[in-house]
Structure 1
């Protein structure tokens, strides 16, 4: 489990401090170095400890015997402006110095290095620590116990060479730059932190090791008396271990306890929490602070919407209701849409104990049938949740639209509501389709849902007309028994009821982002970059090779045409091709950079505003709205761009951590489910091919499994790098991305979520004839 919130707070503080020493320019790619000029760090100049300037060196310039003075301030300023790594000679040239000046520059660089104002990232190669090339990383073990890697916020994992580790250990947080050779070079340790892992105990050749569940990590020797280990542990035990330094092995494992595998419900959840360092239970002080908050909903100073026809639509299992809507038809044929969002910022004030905890967690984490919430239950399911027939505080966006669905006016305000109806998606869909929802409806709800559906579809068509990309997707959800074993799989897809809420929330997020952009120094935007051109080119070849008409995929309109064409494909193929197209895109993230926009949504401004119960960036933007509204209680809200950018980066990291944990637990449950169906046949679609075999997406359970070459006995298959496919030497059969197969589950490793497949049917090896 993750440490106390103070650890998270210290990380934010350290990152903010590091960023505050730089200019406001940002570099999203660690490989790029700044080439523009930058204001020098005032600490790099001025008198030294003795009240004197740093050493001044002389050299000859231009062969004319002119003495050139080189001091540390000038060198530091030039280094900050240098494009990438430079040598002393190159830096002297940039400074316009010749002759023996490089020697003086070199001596100044060495002096600056001692004070941390110059970085020698490779022998003789220098950079400034203030050039924007440093990025926060988490240190992890590599393929062996001696190797270290740095995980960046974008989840890239790069090796750290020994000369640039700065004494870092697995679990530490540091700042790093990326060298020209693709290695991560640590420049500063931010915080220490141990890291736990889950693995299997192995006894071999008189050694005791832990084999981590993550295959990319090598086995670690156990630091413990062998007799003590033999007394308490057995080979094959699933254990929790702490990674520590070891002078003999580099890194080793200290055993903490056996992970109880008798209860899958607890074991699976605990394993994922440990591996991903997820937060545990709320501290008693945080719970007490939440319980002390009173349910006193005074309408004074707020817009009173309690008589409006407000309702919510959420999943049937939801308990935390972030958003509610109200739609009014105007006399001119247009609409007035009110999107009411839980006013979490009223209860969670900046720098409070609850706020520190929420910032530390960053997001709620949804783990199959469990939730690790961002806020204590008294808030998430109580005071903040927009439950029906109870007064609740909201921060609302009132949006006027004309009959074509174009926004004409936006008004933001604190309000109070009393929701008339709580609907789930199934009930809303029934109303839209004219069926009986199975519950008693408040007066006017059915008509309002129908009108909301009409407007939502108009908004969706408008988005598509402007280039928005609506990818097809479905999720496999498991029904678990009381012991945590999956017994049923249900496919969840987006229908028009989901689209109703989706379109209204997208509209509110877009309009709030645009509204804020004109009123505050910085906004925590939700940004999405353009897709990778090389990956798009490969996808274009894939689509053509799959039998679809040749189509360019160079811009949003062409991508839209591809998506429309894919709608005619069978669901399995459509799902996988959409998934492969998604791989061409960058991951959406949080940033204060207004220029980035959101590519997939085709929005120039977009933020997360509609889920403050479960996402910290939404809470930050709520505070910014109240600051912009001039509300007295929020005049001191944090608006510094560097601080908000640090929060944005941290929030992106915490979001990815939660997503990784959610995917891993889903894979574990899928493996448990498939273990009960060994020998059964499933529909699969090839995601990729390699020399090891085919990586197949199992449609029913939504996970990837390996069909190894050894199981494909109908031919001798060879991997083609040009076609990224396996080709049968005798038959010429091509098995590549998008190929549909019937496969059979033959082996399952539940802890590692590894599933091995065999062909079902045409690819089976011929059976030898029976001899009588």
Structure 2
């Protein structure tokens, strides 16, 4: 999944969409699915492998962006008798539709993950599945991996269990609507409990030293014939919803480590040099970071609606660059076995419609709960999965980076020669006249060249736009 999300809201068909189409061509992203894969998808949509248990009596709901139809997760939250909470979390059962070794499976291994462009996405699975038969759309009976996670009154996991079942979501919510219902007191208890459980899990995250980065999304809009680029800060409901996914990923990791076979999402502790660079960025953005305050404490104190804080949160994503996947068998756990930002063992298992590894993690957990060996097709793929996921992540990161360059160039292309207020947020160590500036309006982070003069790190600077040509030159500024 991308660290920096970008959305187009009402932008004109040209020139932005034309530039993005050209970008997809030059990056050689996967195009259409093979005829064999499409045929398998159509057949599987009509006749999936159905589980024996019917759990359609549980009134699930989903929370996703308003335009999303590839719905991986649905939840139902309730109080337990005697105290605590029960989380029912349904995850799309992609294995019910994808035959191991078939054309559809081969396509998924070639694509690895859904690629997100500001105007559209390049899906992991054909839309007949990802936006149809396998999606947890409201009113549709769908095979799922059904998690039941019991929590105590403080939100700590008491017991976790997963099994196959048919589920049916009742209600489809977006983040804004869910937040509004909760804030106004009109949410029914299963939704209202999202705040209670989410806040308890956030407190436990603080206790164990974990970190959630509330990185703002960048939105591109067209207003009166002009493109604008601005930040949208996450809502509290975004974070509470993410905590349910984190809870499930941690429960899955525990099941796999107990069984001795699995695949974990790992992240080593950031090296001192990376943290020192982040301290320089904080200083440059005038974000106060006392030496006695830890990185985790600082991040939790930031307001993503404040432009300087938003820019710094983007810089914080650099500490996630060492994340990867590590498979293990025979009970021999990898080193490290934890994800430093989660501060616990963790795995990806809640987005199988959009990420290849989640299908395998789900199968490993179902086998672990049943006390069985994993299916042979899962065991056979484990050794290669980390490398495949790393290749997919590199491609996704390239798409993310190039999309940002194109969008910024489109937004600014008619403003060559204009002056802007900026802050110098980075200066190259061996080239002090080259660095990076952050503009608050529009929301742009771009290159600056001072033609031999040293740039004033951390200082405000009036800058002039000298380049902004989508497809040929990235955005570049010089001191005014």
Bucket of the pairwise TM-score, normalised by the shorter protein: 0.7 to 0.9
Between the aligned partners of 1:435 and 1:682, the Cα distance in structure 2 is: 43
Partner of 2:91: 341
2:348 to 594, 601, 608: 608
Partner of 1:292: 43
Q: 8 Å contact 2:287–2:308 — kept in the other structure?
A: no
Shift of 1:475: 2.2
Deviations 1:341-395 (A, max 9, x none): 0011111121111111101100010111111101011000011111101111110
Between the aligned partners of 1:678 and 1:385, the Cα distance in structure 2 is: 45
Q: 8 Å contact 1:342–1:395 — kept in the other structure?
A: yes
2:263 to 505, 524, 528: 524
Deviations 1:44-84 (A, max 9, x none): xxxxxxxxxxxxxxxxxxxxxxxxxxxxxxxxxxxxxxxxx
Between the aligned partners of 2:289 and 2:194, the Cα distance in structure 1 is: 37
Shift of 1:418: 1.2
Shift of 1:451: 1.3
2:29 to 278, 284, 300: 278
Normalising by structure 1, we get a TM-score of 0.55
Shift of 1:497: 1.4
Partner of 2:424: 686
Shift of 1:403: 0.6
* Correspondence 1:3-42 to 2 at 5 A: none
Deviations 1:391-412 (A, max 9, x none): 1111021000011111111111
Higher helix proportion (structure 1 or 2): 2
Deviations 1:403-454 (A, max 9, x none): 1111111111111111110001110111121178xxxxxxxx6332111111
Between the aligned partners of 2:441 and 2:165, the Cα distance in structure 1 is: 44
Deviations 1:311-369 (A, max 9, x none): 00000110100000001111212100011100111111211111111011000101111
Q: 8 Å contact 1:529–1:586 — kept in the other structure?
A: no
SS at match of 2:447: strand
Shift of 1:600: 0.9
2:340 to 599, 613, 627: 599
2:383 to 603, 621, 645: 645
Partner of 1:752: 472
Partner of 1:587: 322
* Correspondence 1:110-509 to 2 at 5 A: 264=15, 267-295=18-46, 301-302=52-53, 304-434=54-184, 446-479=188-221, 487-509=227-249
Partner of 2:331: none
Partner of 1:709: 450
Q: 8 Å contact 2:98–2:104 — kept in the other structure?
A: yes
Shift of 1:307: 1.6
Is 1:534 matched up with 2:273? yes
Shift of 1:561: 3.0
Closer/same/farther in 2, CA of residues 472 and 423 from structure 1, 3 Å limit? closer
Between the aligned partners of 1:310 and 1:448, the Cα distance in structure 2 is: 9
1:561 to 288, 294, 297: 297
How many matched pairs?
457
Closer/same/farther in 2, CA of residues 291 and 374 from structure 1, 3 Å limit? same
Between the aligned partners of 1:297 and 1:650, the Cα distance in structure 2 is: 26
SS at match of 1:706: strand
Normalising by structure 2, we get a TM-score of 0.86
Q: 8 Å contact 2:114–2:122 — kept in the other structure?
A: yes
* Correspondence 1:57-96 to 2 at 5 A: none
Deviations 1:462-508 (A, max 9, x none): 11111012334212122369xxx973434222211111210000000
Larger Rg: 1
